[in-house]
Structure 1
Amino acid sequence: MTTPLLADLAAEARNAAHPQSDPCACGVVVTLADRADATVVRHAATVAKAHTPGTDPAELRARLDTAARVPGVLLPPLTPTPVLVHGRLVTLWPYGTPVDPDAPDEAPWEAAAGLLARLHRTTPPVPLPPMRGPEKAARAITRLHAAGPHPAARAVTRAWATLPAWARAEAPPPDATSLCHGDLHLGQLVRHPAPAGPWLLIDVDDLGLGPAAWDLARPAAWYACGLLPPDEWTRFLTAYRAAGGPAVPADGDCWPALDVPARALTVQTAARAVAKAAAAGRPLDEVEQCLVDACARMGTIPAQLPRNFAK
């Protein structure tokens, strides 16, 4: 069903793709995402994104400005200033080809690692707010509490309680000096120009200053939970180190730097999974149960755990 927001977002994309009322402007508009936190449509080579309700305009402009000034790492926006559509800030972007989820053997781990290393070594070109990784983790816990009872919720909340205050967005992080993406996963990479250009990072909503290790936390968490094969984790970590990434030591044990962020992302992902299961009244699937089992283990040992904390 087409909502007023989707209809007007489609119009923004068409107008940007065909500013001179090109006859081709009647082409198909594709909805790429329609969630409470983001609605995204594509027309031709243009993407229009409606950001989360309540997004701070000044912070978003700073993030857009940063994307425009870090070429070769972040996908630059088509326009420097968001517009307001149905009370939502909307930005325009060039379309890039995403990672193919059906071709896991071709996952661009090395490209992701190299882009992160370059981002983390970049001096922010403009003043930026904190990256929003811990804030998103805290929101996942809030969503879990609001979803109603579920037998897995206790393990997740106990694991959450073992994290330091900064990882729960209750205090500033100990090292908040790096330019961070804030929500790194393979869905945040596209090839631009499509379909065969270089890989670039997209989605600046969580971009900001923070501990660089947070950007490695999702693949680290999936590796620690046994959901990311060791060879893929090794490819990613080796490429990050080879590119001079500052989040971990150049050699030796990386886990002291990654332990807290990896725990936090495990809890965040498990909280979202349990909340969805509770809302749908269904049992956890195999991957979701694996994440909850990891939380159960973390909840019993608050001290630092080795890399296989989920086993």
Structure 2
Amino acid sequence: MTTDVGPDVGPDGVSAELPPAAEPEPMVQPAEPVAVLADEADGTVIRLGPVVVKAHSPASDQAALRARLRVAQHAALHGVLLTPLGEATVRRGRLVTRWPYGQPVDQAAPERFPWAEAGALLARLHAVRPATLPLPLPAAAGPARAARAVERLRGRVTGSRFASARTLVLRAADHPSPTRPTVRPTLCHGDFHLGQLVWADGWRLIDIDDLGVGDPAWDLARPAAWYAAGLLDPNDWQQLLAGYGTTGDPWPWLEAATRALTVQSAAQALLRAQLTDTQLDYDGVALVDSCGRIAGLP
């Protein structure tokens, strides 16, 4: 992602670097260290000491994002979502939000991944009735994200190296979805994975860009897809379900969303491999294999 707010820009939109002092004094340093935490298509995130600043995508719906920000500040979400620092501002055409810094999940220590805590946070999020919130929210973005990934793959001309994998993924996308019980729409995160958790006086969910009202199965569908593909340890999956409070067989209400997230993740893996002209990685192969099972193909 490109942005007008780079690592040399402070939270007030001005340069975070100071001019050097007169010789022979050493160069004056910024009051807080500046670090780029993410620079992707949906936003640039920089850290300035205890504060994190996010410049959201220029394509963001500003009215929807402001509504999501107000919901994140609501008392019903305290202890569930990381609470933003004040209101959003607009800098150089980009909506900018400020947040307290939280320590992300340590990806080098999978034995300490907070799966149970993540399940408990999702359960608390889904328990918030949208009608009790101060203003209407847009739909959670999970289904739309899945549809965009498939359409991007359909429109991409592929070489022979990925032709078979692309066929499997698109056949899985077109395979009829299983019927499922009707569920009451809830408040949903819209893009849940462990990268969306930080520790800030307890585990908190971050990234409200896809927050909205929808089917709660979509928040569990990505780890369910990893589990079905053999990429998530069964014990971790059970910890997530236990933290969420699931009893009985979860697949009748998870299967349709899990299939869609499997297709989305496989499509994204193929698109990355094509863009970088590299081989499909291990996770991508496993997800494409899952698509073959969904489509009933070898």
CA distance in 2, matches of 1:57, 1:174: 31
Residue 5 of structure 1 deviates from its aligned partner by 2.6
Distance 1:277 1:140, change over 3 A: same
Give the TM-score normalised by structure 1: 0.82
Question: SS state of the match for residue 300, structure 1?
Answer: coil
Distance 1:165 1:232, change over 3 A: closer
Contact 2:221-2:254 at 8 Å conserved across structures: yes
Q: Which runs of 5+ in 1 are unaligned?
A: 18-22, 167-172, 242-249, 302-310
Contact 2:54-2:96 at 8 Å conserved across structures: yes
CA distance in 1, matches of 2:182, 2:115: 28
2:91 is matched by which residue type in structure 1?
A: V
1:177 pairs with 2:182 = no
Question: SS state of the match for residue 10, structure 2?
Answer: helix
CA distance in 2, matches of 1:50, 1:146: 29
Residue 143 of structure 1 deviates from its aligned partner by 2.6
Distance 1:138 1:13, change over 3 A: farther
Distance 1:3 1:237, change over 3 A: closer
CA distance in 1, matches of 2:98, 2:277: 37
Distance 1:142 1:13, change over 3 A: farther
Among 224, 242, 257, the alignment partner of 2:253 is: 257
Query: CA offsets, 1:139-198, max 9 Å, x none?
Result: 1123323443032111111111125499xxxxxx96462010111110000011xxxx20
1:63 pairs with 2:68 = yes
CA distance in 1, matches of 2:143, 2:112: 30
CA distance in 2, matches of 1:134, 1:176: 16
CA distance in 1, matches of 2:176, 2:94: 34
Question: SS state of the match for residue 36, structure 2?
Answer: strand
Structure 1 equivalent of residue 144 of structure 2: 135
Among 267, 274, 284, the alignment partner of 1:271 is: 267
Distance 1:113 1:269, change over 3 A: same
Residue 300 of structure 1 deviates from its aligned partner by 2.2
CA distance in 2, matches of 1:148, 1:165: 30
Question: SS state of the match for residue 279, structure 2?
Answer: coil
Q: Which runs of 5+ in 2 are unaligned?
A: 17-27
Give the TM-score normalised by structure 2: 0.86
Structure 2 equivalent of residue 86 of structure 1: 92
Structure 1 equivalent of residue 278 of structure 2: 282
Among 47, 51, 56, the alignment partner of 2:56 is: 51
Please give the root-mean-square deviation of Cα atoms over the aligned residues, in Å. Answer: 2.6
2:92 is matched by which residue type in structure 1?
A: H
CA distance in 1, matches of 2:113, 2:221: 17
Contact 2:7-2:46 at 8 Å conserved across structures: no
Q: Which moved more, 1:136-145 or 1:203-212?
A: 136-145
Structure 2 equivalent of residue 307 of structure 1: none
Contact 1:179-1:210 at 8 Å conserved across structures: yes
CA distance in 1, matches of 2:91, 2:171: 41
Question: SS state of the match for residue 198, structure 2?
Answer: strand
Structure 2 equivalent of residue 76 of structure 1: 83
Distance 1:12 1:232, change over 3 A: same
1:162 pairs with 2:175 = yes
The structure with more radius of gyration: 2
Structure 1 equivalent of residue 19 of structure 2: none
Distance 1:48 1:185, change over 3 A: same
Contact 2:7-2:34 at 8 Å conserved across structures: no
CA distance in 1, matches of 2:55, 2:99: 11
Distance 1:13 1:75, change over 3 A: farther
Write the mapping of 1:238-253 to structure 2, written as runs, cut at 5 A. Answer: 238-241=242-245, 250-253=246-249
Structure 2 equivalent of residue 188 of structure 1: 196
Residue 297 of structure 1 deviates from its aligned partner by 1.4
Contact 1:221-1:262 at 8 Å conserved across structures: yes
CA distance in 2, matches of 1:165, 1:133: 18
Identity within the alignment, %: 48
CA distance in 2, matches of 1:300, 1:285: 23
CA distance in 2, matches of 1:107, 1:14: 35
Structure 2 equivalent of residue 98 of structure 1: 104
